[in-house]
Structure 1
Amino acid sequence: MNSQNPNITFPSAPPGIPIPTPILTPKLEPLDEHIEQTQQPNLNEIPNLNLNLNLNLDLVCEETLNDNNSNQNANVYAEFNRVSELFRTAFTKGLQQIPKNEVIDEDPNSRAIIPVPVPDALQNYDSTPSAGEVTAQKIPRRWKELVRVTDLGLTEQRHFRDLVRRTRMVYDSVRVLAAVEEERKIDVRKVRSDLRASALMRNCGLWLNRDKRIVGAIPGVCIGDVFLYRMELCVVGLHGQPQAGIDYLPASMSSNGEPIATSVIVSGGYEDDVDEGDVIIYSGHGGQDKHSRQVFHQKLEGGNLAMERSMHYGIEVRVIRGVRCEGTTSASGKVYVYDGLYRILECWFDVGKSGFGVYKYKLWRIDGQAKMGSLVLKEALMLRRDPLCFKPMCVFSLDVSNSKENVCVRLFNDIDRNHDPLCFEYLPKTTFPQFVFHSSGKGTGCECVDGCGDGCFCSMKNGGEFPYSQSGLLMRGKPLIFECGPFCRCPPHCRNRVTQKGLGHRLEVFRSKETGWGVRSLDLIQAGAFICEYTGVVLTREQAQILTMNGDSLIYPNRFSNRWAEWGDLSMIDANYVRPSFPSVPPLDFAMDVSRMRNVACYMSHSSTPNVLVQFVLFDHNNLMFPHLMLFAMENIPPMRELSLDYGVADDELTGKLAICN
C-alpha cells in the first residue's frame, strides 16, 4: 500500500462539514506521571543531573567519558559484528522506490536493508550541551545501519544478558538515589527520578544499542522481562521512543528512502486497537489532538508508512505491552513487558470509531517463542485471587509456613508426588544462641518518636545516611546495615525497619526439572525490594564441626558472594566512586543448620548470575559477628520467574541446586 495509491478511498465528512487538513503527530502513549501527552521528554533540559547524596556523583570529565565509552562500544560492537547477520541484500536501485509486488532478485529471503551510508551533512554526534555539564558531551545519535542478531551461542547469550542486567542495575540504582533526593526537596520543581536516571546514563554513554538499529530480538532482553518505566526501554534499546508508540528507522536514514518499523507499544489506550494476545489489530498514528482524540484523517507516512513497509518486506517487529500491575511505584500503576516478535500480515485504511480515517495493522505473533510475559502477569493475578484456579491437584499446600509468615507460601508440584518441604519445621526468623544477645550488651537506640529523620542516632550508625528509601527500597549495598531495634523509640512504620517486618511478597516453592526445588513469586518484585530472610539455626564453629561429622548439610554465610557491592555500584558513572567499606565486619565464623528447620529461602537455586543478593543486617542485637542474612532483589523480577542466589561456589560444584534442597 502506498500513500499515492489511487485505490485508497478516504471516508467523507458529514454533510456541510469541510474535511480538515490531515496532520501528522506521533502515536503517543500516556507517560507514567505528570507530563502532557504531547510533550516529549527532553533529556537535555532535565536540571541537576549531578545527584548530591554524598556519593560523588559528579560527572567525570569529557575526555575520560569519551575514552571509556569508545572502548566499551568497540568491545560490544566487535562482538556484534562477529555474531550478527547483517542484512545481506541492497535494494536494486539505491533510493528508488520499490513497487509493492516487485520481487528482489538478489535474495528474496533477506527481508532487510544494508548499512546506511552517512551523508556528509549529518554528523554522528549530537553536541547539544546537557544540563549540569560544564562542557558539552558528545552523545551518539540513534541511527546507522540496520542489523539482525541471530544464532548466538550460549557464551554470547550470557554475555549480552549480563550486559543488559548490569545496565538495568545501574539505571535502577541511580533512579532510587534520585528518588531519595527528590523526597528531600521542598517547594522546588521536582523531576521524575526515571527521567533523571536515564538522562545521566545517556550523558555517560551507557545507553545500549544506540550505534545500530536492531531488527528482531534485542540480545540480552528475554521475553517476559518487565520494565517499570518507559525510559528504561530506551536505555536498553528495546524501544527508542520516550513516548511514541511506533519506533522506526526514518526514510532519511534508510538506504532506499523508505522507513522501517522496529517495535511497537500496545497499552490498550486507543479506541481502535484490539488486543487478543497472539493477534493484535494496531491502529496507526496521526490526526489526534492534545487529548488523544481522533480529529483528522491519518496519512500513510512516518510510523504508519514504516509499519506498511515492514509488512511488505516481511520484517518482524518487537511488541511491548503496557499492563497494569500491582506492586509498581509508577503513578499509572503500569509496567511494560516484552512479549516477543510479531509479523505484520495486513494493512488497511478504515473508518475509526471517531468517524475519521485510521490505518490499521494486523499483527500475528511468531510461533515457537516463549510464553508471553503479559499472559504470565494475568495468570499470576488469578493465582493471587484464587490459589487453586490452576491445577489444584498439584497444590500440595496453600501455606507451608503454617501462618508463621505475613503472607502464605504455596507449595506446588506438577512433576511428581514429592512433598519434602512439608517434612521440615518452618522457621520464619533465624535462631541465634543466647550468648549472642548477652555479649552484645544493652543496646542504645534513637529517640525519634514519629519516625527517624536525618541526623538521628541510627542514621549515624549507618554512616550518616539511611539505607532505604521512603518506599523501602535498598539504596545501595553495604557490608552491614543497622536497622532500628527494640531500644529505639521510633514506631514500627519507621523507614529504617524494613527487613524485620517479615515476608511481604507471596512466594511459592515449586518443583523444577532443572533445579529440583525452586522459589518464585506471585507478585512483581521491584529492584531493590526486600524479599525475605535466609533463616536457620546458628551454630558456632565447634558445633558445626560436630554436625558435619554426622553428615548434616550446613550453610556458611561467609561463602556467599559479595553481590551487595553490585547494587548501587556507580563506578560506570563516577570514576571516583568508592565501594562502601563502613562498617568493617569481622570474618563471619558461624554456620547455619537448615537440615531440620528452614524457611522458603532455603529452596532458592544457585546461579552465577543471580537476581537476588544477600545483605547483612543487624537490628535485634549489636554483635557484628552474627548478622541476619536478608535477601533483596537485584532487578525487577516478574511474577513466576525463579529466584536465584549466588552461594559462592563454582558452577561445576553443583547441579544448579545445593545438596540440602535436593
Structure 2
Amino acid sequence: MGSLVPFNDVNLFPNRPLYTTAAAGAATATSTATTIPLLRPKIEPKAEPLDEPPLNKIQTNVEPQYPCPNLLSSSPTTPFPDTDDLNSLALESAPSSEENAHTKLYHITEMFHPAFGQRKQKYRDVNVLDSSSRAIVPVPDERQLVVSMRHHQKRSSELVRVTNLGIEDHRYFRNVVRRTRMLYDSLRIFSAMEEDKHHGIGMGRRMRVDLRAAALLRDSGLWLNCDKRIVGSIPGVYIGDLFFWRMELCVVGLHGQPQAGIDYLSSSQSSNGEPIATSIIVSGGYEDDEDSGDVLIYTGHGGQYKFSGKCSHQKLERGNLALERSMHYGIEIRVIRGFKFEGSLTTKVYVYDGLYRIVDSWFDVGKSGFGVYKYRLIRIEGQPEMGSTIMRFAAALKTRPLEARPMGYLTLDISNKKEHVPVFLYNDIDSNHDPMNYEYLPRTVFPAFIYHAASNNVGCDCVSGCMDGCICAKKNGGEIAYDHNGFLTRGKPLIFECGPSCRCPSYCRNRVTQKGLRIRLEVFRSRETGWGVRTLDLIHAGAFICEYAGVVLTREQADICGMNGDSMIYPGRFKERWAEWGDLSQIYPEYVRPTSPSSPPLDFSMDVSRMRNVACYISHSTSPNLLVQFVLYDHNNMTFPHIMLFAVENIPPMRELSLDYGVADEYTGKVSICN
C-alpha cells in the first residue's frame, strides 16, 4: 500500500536538504528515484476559512425526493469524531458490501493516519498506539453534541505527497475515483430530471444541478481527499481525465477552488506565513497567458474586475505569492486546462494535463498596460501525453484522418455506410486485417418467431413526445428511462422504448438506442488486448454508445450448429453493471433499486462468427467504462432484448472502451468474448 510523506520543517532538519521523488509525473517512488534539492515549508494544521461559495444556499427551495441520510447520530453514547473524519464516519455508517466503493474509502483514511497522528492526539479523538504500525483506536467521547449535516467540512492544512503505490493500489484508487464520479453524474442527471418535473423544460431560471450534486456528496461525507492536501499526482486520477464541471474537480480533490484558478494552502494555515500552491486551471481567462503545451507562461490572478471594467496592478499575495513560494521550494503543480470542445453540453471542458514545475517568475507590464505577475512552467518529463493534445488530435482525425495520420488505416469505414457515422479501422502494429473479413451487422438479427405477437403491441398516443405518466412510461415502472439529452437516468433490468405502434414523433426522448450509432469510433490493433475500440468523440456519462449486434440463436440452435465459445456471446453472463448507474443509496437511504420492468433469465446466445459490428471488438475489463442495458423497442418478447451499451463515465477522445463480459464459459473456461 502507498504511503504519505508529510512536508517537514526545514529548520528542524538542517542536514536533510534532499527530498526523494519518483520518476517525473508518477506518484510511485522506485529504486530508480532521483533526489532533487527541495526546501520544506513548515506547515501546521490550523482552521481554514471557507474558500468555496455556500453551495447549500442554492438548495433552499429544492427538496430531494428522498430524505437525506442521518450519517451523524446525536445519541450521547455515539463517539463524535473530528470534522476531518466525516468521510470515514460516513463510510462506517454505510452498508457493508464489496460493491460499495465508498466503504473502501475508509482504507484511504487509514493510509493517512500517520501524517495526522499528532493532530489526532491533540484533539483526543484517537490514540496512536504505535506510529510505525499505524494502529489507531477510537476513544469514547462523552460530549453530547448535535451536528447539522449542513456543516461544511473544512479542508486539511497538512501537505502530503503520495508515494510507493503498487499496481493494485493504482487499480484500487482508480476504482474509488470512478465510482465517486459515477455517483456525481447520477446525482446531476437525477437533479435535472427533478427540476424538469417541478418547473418544466426550459421554464424559468434553472438550478445549478452540478452544484447541487456536489453539495449532496459533501453533506454525505463523500468528497475525496478532503482530509489532506496532496502535492503532486492524485491517486486514481489519470492524465487525460475529462471533467465537464469545475465542482467535479473539487469532489475528487484535483482542484479545490470552485472559481479561482489557483488552488493553494493559505498563509494563515502555515506557521511561517507562506502560502503553497498545488494546482492551477488554464482556461484563457487572461490575455497575457502563453500556452505552447509543455511550456506555459501563466499570469497570476487579480487586477481585472469583470463587472466594473476596471484594471489595476496585480499584487504578490494569496495565489500569486503561493506560486512564487512553490517555485522556491520546488513543489510540482497540477495543471488542468479548460477550453471549448465540439460535442460538449457545457461551455468548457476541463482536462488534467499532468505535473509542471515553476522555473521562473517575474513582474511585467501586461497587454492592458497594468502590471501582472508571470510564471514560466515546464512540464515534467516522463509523463503520458497531455490530454488536451490528444483531444485536438482526435478532432483532426474526424475531419482529416489521412492528413493527421497518413499511415495505418486499413479502411475509413468498416460498416460500408451501414452506420450513420463511419467506423475507422487502424493497425500500425502488424499486417492483421481480420475485422474486414466479417460482414458488418448494424443491428441484431432475431428469430422470426419473436415478432409474431408484434401486431398486438399497444403503443402510446403522445403527440409531442412521451412524458412520465404515458403508457410507455408505465411500462418502464412509471418513468421514462432517459432525460431530454438522451442520457440514461438510471439503469433498469429492462427498458421499453417507443416502438412502431407508438404515435410519438421520431425525436421523442423515449427513442434513443433505436437511432443507432452516433459516436465516431475506431477499431484499432493493440499489443495488450488484440483488437480494441476507442472513441474519436467526447462521450458524456450516461450517453448511448451502440448496440452489441450479432445473430441470435436459441440454445437448441447453438447446440445443433456446434459453435464454440470463441465466436459466441452469452448476454445472460454480462455483469449487471446497470444497477450501479443511478444508484443513489449512498445519498438517499430509502432509495430502492429498480426491479420493474423485470427481465426473465436470458437463455440465448449471439453468433458473431460471420456477421458482427464494432461492439464485438470492445475489450473486457473488471472496471469498465461501459455498461450493458437490455432494451426492447421493435417487439415485446422480454426473453430476447437488444444488448445496448451506455457510458458510465466521461470518456475523452482516443480512450479505449471496455466492458465486463462476466463469468468464464463453463466448458472452455474463457470469458465469453469474440475478440
For residues 651 and 278 of structure 1, what CA distance do their matches in structure 2 show? 47
Mapped partners of 1:198, 1:376: distance in 2:
28
- Equivalence for 2:489: 475
2:57 maps to 45
Percent sequence identity over matched residues? 63
Corresponding position of 1:142: 155
- The whole-number CA distance in structure 1 between the counterparts of 2:263 and 2:543 is 32
Distance, in Å, in 1 between the alignment partners of 2:312 and 2:593 is 56
Structure 2 counterparts to residues 305-454 of structure 1, below 5 A: 305-330=321-346, 332=347, 334-439=348-453, 442-454=456-468
The CA deviation at 1:85 is 9.8
Q: Report the counterpart of residue 257 of structure 1 in structure 2.
A: 273
1:61 to 51, 64, 70: 70
Structure 1 SS opposite 2:510: coil
From 516, 539, 551, the equivalent of 1:537 is 551
Find the residue that maps to 1:393 and give its secondary structure. Answer: coil
Aligned match of 1:216: 232
| Residue 622 (structure 2) aligns with | 608
Is the Cα contact below 8 Å between 1:399 and 1:411 reproduced in 2? yes
Q: Deviations over 1:29-48 (max 9, x none)?
A: xxxxxxxxxx9743021125
Matched residue type, 2:320: N
1:557/1:588 contact within 8 Å kept: yes
Distance in 2 between the 1:297 and 1:40 partners? 25
Of 242, 262, 270, 1:226 maps to 242
Offset, 1:216: 0.3
C-alpha distance in structure 1 between counterparts of 2:276 and 2:370, whole Å: 25
Q: Give deviations 1:432-470, integer Å, cap 9, x for gaps.
A: 000011145521100012211232111111111110000
1:296 matched to 2:317? The reply is no
SS in 1 for 2:525: strand
Q: Is the 8 A contact 2:338 2:349 kept in 1?
A: yes
- Residues in 1 aligned to 2:667 and 2:356: alpha-carbon distance in whole angstroms: 41
TM-score by length of 1: 0.83
Distance 1:655 1:380 in 2: 38
Q: CA RMSD in A?
A: 2.8
Name the residue aligned to 1:71: 92
In the alignment of these two chains, the number of paired residues is 580
Cα pair distance change 1:586/1:658, threshold 3 Å: closer
**Aligned match of 1:175 in 188, 210, 214?**
188
The question of 1:238 aligning with 2:254 is answered: yes
Q: Distance in 2 between matches of 1:533 and 1:293?
A: 52
Any conservation in 1 of the 2:71–2:90 contact (CA below 8 Å)?
no
The answer on whether the counterparts of 1:274 and 1:282 sit within 8 Å (CA) in structure 2 is yes
Structure 2 contact 224–253 (Cα < 8 Å) conserved:
yes
The C-alpha deviation readout for 1:251-302, integer Å capped at 9, x for no partner, is 1112322110000000122111100100000011122213496611111110
**TM-fit CA distance, 1:653:** 11
Q: How far, CA to CA, are the matches of 2:672 and 2:426 in structure 1?
A: 19
Distance in structure 2 (CA, Å) of the matches to 1:512 and 1:652:
28
Summarize the Cα distance change of 1:246–1:501 in structure 2 as closer, same or farther, 3 Å threshold: same
Q: CA deviation at 1:57?
A: 2.8
Aligned to 2:674, the other structure's residue is in SS state: helix
Which residue number in structure 2 is paired with residue 19 of structure 1? none
Q: Residues 176-211 of structure 1: CA distance to partner in whole angstroms, max 9, x if unpaired? A: 111122223155542111111111111111111111
Distance 1:540 1:62 in 2: 49
Measured in 2, the distance between the counterparts of 1:62 and 1:462 equals 32
Letter in 1 for 2:584: L
Residue 521 of structure 1 pairs with residue 521 of structure 2: no
Asked whether the 8 Å contact 1:146–1:214 carries over to 2, the reply is yes
Aligned to 1:271, the other structure's residue is in SS state coil
- Is the 8 Å Cα contact of residues 85 and 149 (structure 1) preserved in structure 2? no
> Does the 8 A contact of 1:85 with 1:147 survive in 2?
no
Match of 1:153 among 156, 159, 166: 166
Say if 1:419 and 1:432 are closer, same or farther in 2 by CA, change over 3 A: same
In 2, Cα distance between the equivalents of 1:464 and 1:458?
Answer: 8
Using the alignment, how far apart are the partners of 1:86 and 1:245 within structure 2? 28
**Alpha-carbon separation, structure 2, partners of 1:550 and 1:44:** 57
Q: Distance in 2 between matches of 1:318 and 1:654?
A: 47
Report if aligned partners of 1:605, 1:657 keep a CA contact under 8 Å in 2.
Answer: no
SS of 1:359's partner is strand
Segments of 5+ residues of structure 1 without an aligned counterpart are 1-38, 88-113, 121-132
**In the aligned structure 2, how far is the partner of 1:645 from the partner of 1:488?**
32
Which structure 2 segments of 5+ residues have no match? 1-50, 74-85, 94-101, 124-145
Give me the whole-angstrom Cα distance separating, in 2, the residues matched to 1:550 and 1:265: 52
CA–CA separation in structure 1 for the residues paired with 2:104 and 2:308 = 43
In 2, Cα distance between the equivalents of 1:654 and 1:552? 9
